[in-house]
Amino acid sequence: MKSQEIRAKFLAFFESKKHDIVPSAPMVLKDDPTLMFTNAGMVPFKEYFLGNGTPKNTRLTDSQKCLRVSGKHNDLEEVGKDTYHHTMFEMLGNWSFGDYFKKEAIDWAWELLTEVYNIDKNSLYVTIFEGDKADGLDRDQDAYDLWRNHISEDRILNGNKKDNFWEMGAQGPCGPCSEIHVDIRSEEEKAKVDGKSLVNQDHPLVIEVWNLVFMQFNRMADGSLEKLPAQHVDTGMGFERLCMVLQGVQSNYDTDVFTPLMREIETITSFKCGHKEETDVAVRVVADHLRAVAFSIADGQLPSSNTAGYVIRRILRRAIRYGYTFLNTKEPFIYKLVNTLVKQMGEAFPELKREKNLIVNVIREEEHSFLRTLDQGLILLDNMVAKTTGDIISGDKVFELYDTYGFPDDLTGLILSEQGLKYDKERFDVLLDEQKKRSRNASLVETGDWTVLIDDSEEEFIGYDTLEANVKITRYRKT
Ligand code: ATP
Ligand code: MG
Ligand code: MG
Ligand code: MG
């Protein structure tokens, strides 16, 4: 089944259950001081959950563009290394605003997966919330009883607060959830190790696909839970993961959502996947990050030195760096993939088609300027190496390269290691730490070049940007 059809079947199924199909809301948020990007399908409906207004229909369904690169849900560092976390992904959802609750949510999820998509019941596991003393919450017995109508008790697992209590951020609507996991290992592997023991263990083939959240509470600023005025259902299914399951492949990148991009990257770079892990990771990073950046630009968020724009710039630079380091791309090339992406996704997301030229131009310019920085950094690094006796480069020098020239330290480490050299990482970390402290203190008194991003939990340093107009901008944000 093609991905287009998989998406369409989801929406049609819930339409048949009296839901209105609505388009995805933007992925980049402009007016929310607590969040930069839509990180789950429920975000556009937050106000409805809080009781501020009701939609025309109390049942909606959609496929929402999500981005998980900051705040409570930040998957950036996983992306490329595993085969099932993306920065940008689609979350298929069905919604009840004070309408149906656990029974329908569970019965319909089961019906859709096993009768419409025909997933083998014996490959499914479900989890329910085990309760939490600190929050004064009991085990979700209702969900357990409802699942027992469909599935044997040894396939219903207790889950802790981390996995089975969904929260958008440090504050806001939240509630216990029940998740569906699919075991797509071979029969031989299944016979060796019980799938049950692999649920929620980061196994690439025993994978969470759908989260049914029973929205009942509002997490207040002081950490306490208040009951919401009504009970709601918020579900989110990872579209790319569902495609992996239904297309019988073992990686999201082997579904038709990604293969056109993957093949195009192979053609442009002449590197082939499946031989060397670092090549595979780099190709996945480029394919993934291109989507995140293209969708952001289509939403009107260009890479920049501020807030959300800076996060987007970092994602693109991560892709450029992976290309530069592992795919030998010394010239701009990521912009060339936009055409393929638009062909693949432009029907479902017409904003991509509309903004295609802008996306191409912006990415090409960004690639151009960052590649120049990388080239300059390499020359400086070569000089450093030439002047060094012994095989350890000073941490101060590497820090200067990073701090003043924007040359990433992990890249420095990699290049040095290729020449049998190292740098004094301990000293580098000390300097980095001092820099962070200076940034924090200075931000208390200065404004101007300082940008404080309010995201949704603790403060996290996100880096320097020295590339524009020789102004050093140090920034950090709340995450
Ligand atoms: P995981 O445990 O795999 O990180 P999650 O529990 O953080 O997923 P939820 O917040 O429950 O994810 O989101 C609902 C669904 O969205 C998940 O069941 C999964 O199918 C999908 N999903 C979550 N994060 C990602 C991601 N980074 N890339 C692709 N799909 C994702
Ligand atoms: Mg996660
Ligand atoms: Mg999870
Ligand atoms: Mg989950």
The closest alpha carbon to 363, from 331, 332, 325, belongs to 332
Nearest-5° Cα angle at 121, 115 to 124: 120
Average pLDDT over residues 403-407: 82
Q: Is 466 in contact with 472 (CB distance < 8 Å)? A: yes
Compute, in angstroms, the gap from residue 221 CA to the centroid of ligand 3: 24
Q: Is 374 in contact with 365 (CB distance < 8 Å)? A: no
Higher-confidence residue of 305 and 288: namely 288
Longest CA pairwise span in the chain (Å): 74
Cβ neighbourhood burial of 441 (10 Å; 0-12, 13-18, 19+): exposed
Compute, in angstroms, the gap from residue 257 CA to the centroid of ligand 2: 20
User: 328's torsion region: left (phi>0), alpha (psi -120 to 50) or beta?
Assistant: left
Sequence-ordered alpha helix ranges (H) in 347-424: 350-354, 356-387, 395-405, 409-418
Identify the band that residue 424 occupies on the pLDDT scale cut at 50, 70 and 90: very high
Interior/surface letters 351-364, b for 16+ CB within 10 angstroms, e for the rest: bbeebbeebbebbb
**What is the model's pLDDT at position 441?**
67
Cα separation, 273 vs 179, whole angstroms: 32
Q: Is 137 in contact with 131 (CB distance < 8 Å)? A: yes
Which tokens is 358 given? 């802008």
Q: Is 246 in contact with 6 (CB distance < 8 Å)? A: yes
Lowest-confidence region among 56-65, 166-175, 213-222, 326-335: 166-175
68 ligand 1 Cβ < 6 A: yes
75 ligand 1 Cβ < 6 A: yes
169 ligand 1 Cβ < 6 A: no
pTM of the prediction?
A: 0.87
Higher-confidence residue of 430 and 476: namely 430
9-44, pLDDT tens digit by residue?
999 999 999 999 999 999 999 888 878 999 999 999
86 ligand 1 Cβ < 6 A: yes
Compute, in angstroms, the gap from residue 130 CA to the centroid of ligand 1: 20
DSSP assignment string, 57-108: SSEEEEEEEEE-EETTEE-GGGBTTBSS--SEEEEEEEEEESS--HHHHHHH
The closest alpha carbon to 370, from 400, 408, 410, 397, belongs to 408
The closest alpha carbon to 462, from 451, 447, 477, 445, belongs to 477
Q: Is 202 in contact with 84 (CB distance < 8 Å)? A: no
Average pLDDT over residues 170-190: 94
The fraction of the chain above a pLDDT of 70, given in percent, is 91
Average pLDDT over residues 297-309: 91
CATH architecture of 3-252: 2-Layer Sandwich (3.30)
**What is the model's pLDDT at position 291?**
98
Cα separation, 85 vs 289, whole angstroms: 12
Tell me how crowded residue 219 is: count the other CB atoms within 10 A of its CB: 20
Q: What is the mean pLDDT of the chain?
A: 89
* Strands across the sheet containing 459-465: 451-453, 473-478, 459-465
Q: Is 14 in contact with 41 (CB distance < 8 Å)? A: no
65 ligand 1 Cβ < 6 A: no
**What is the model's pLDDT at position 456?**
35
Higher-confidence residue of 476 and 86: namely 86
Strand ranges (DSSP E) for 205-358? 206-219, 225-238
Greatest mean pLDDT range, 49-53, 238-242, 317-321: 238-242
430-474, pLDDT tens digit by residue?
999 998 888 766 544 322 222 333 333 333 333 333 332 222 333
**What is the model's pLDDT at position 448?**
25
**What is the model's pLDDT at position 108?**
98
- Nearest ligand 1 atom to alpha carbon 210: 18
The closest alpha carbon to 391, from 368, 423, 364, belongs to 423
Higher-confidence residue of 399 and 443: namely 399
**What is the model's pLDDT at position 413?**
86
172-183 and 124-129: which strand pairing?
antiparallel
- 74, 241, 253: residue to mutate for ligand 1 pocket, most atoms within 8 A of CB: 241
Compute, in angstroms, the gap from residue 130 CA to the centroid of ligand 4: 14
Q: Is 355 in contact with 298 (CB distance < 8 Å)? A: yes
**What is the model's pLDDT at position 454?**
34
Q: Is 478 in contact with 70 (CB distance < 8 Å)? A: no
**What is the model's pLDDT at position 442?**
55
Element (H, E) at 191: helix 187-192
Q: Residue 93 contacts by C-beta under 8 Å, 6 or more apart in sequence?
A: 41, 42, 61, 62, 63, 64, 234, 235, 236, 237
Q: Which residue has the CA at smallest separation from atom 16 of ligand 1?
A: 238
Identify the band that residue 358 occupies on the pLDDT scale cut at 50, 70 and 90: very high
Cα separation, 413 vs 418, whole angstroms: 9
Q: Is the pLDDT of residue 197 over 80?
A: yes
Q: Is the pLDDT of residue 399 over 80?
A: yes
210 ligand 1 Cβ < 6 A: yes
Backbone angles phi, psi at 404, to 5 degrees: -90, -35
Q: Which residue has the CA at smallest separation from atom 19 of ligand 1?
A: 238
Q: Residue 227 contacts by C-beta under 8 Å, 6 or more apart in sequence?
A: 216, 217, 218
- Nearest ligand 1 atom to alpha carbon 252: 29
**What is the model's pLDDT at position 295?**
98
Which tokens is 109 given? 């999820």
288 ligand 1 Cβ < 6 A: no
Higher-confidence residue of 34 and 157: namely 157
Identify the band that residue 1 occupies on the pLDDT scale cut at 50, 70 and 90: very high
For residue 152, the SS3 value is coil
Could you tell me the residue ranges of all domains in the chain? Answer: 3-252, 258-355
Q: Which residue has the CA at smallest separation from atom 21 of ligand 1?
A: 238
Q: Is 15 in contact with 21 (CB distance < 8 Å)? A: yes
Cα separation, 475 vs 182, whole angstroms: 41
85 ligand 1 Cβ < 6 A: yes
**What is the model's pLDDT at position 478?**
34
Question: How many secondary structure helices (H) and strands (E) does the chain include?
Answer: 16, 16
For residue 470, the SS3 value is coil
Higher-confidence residue of 71 and 259: namely 259
Q: Which residue has the CA at smallest separation from atom 8 of ligand 1?
A: 208
Which tokens is 101 given? 């609750």
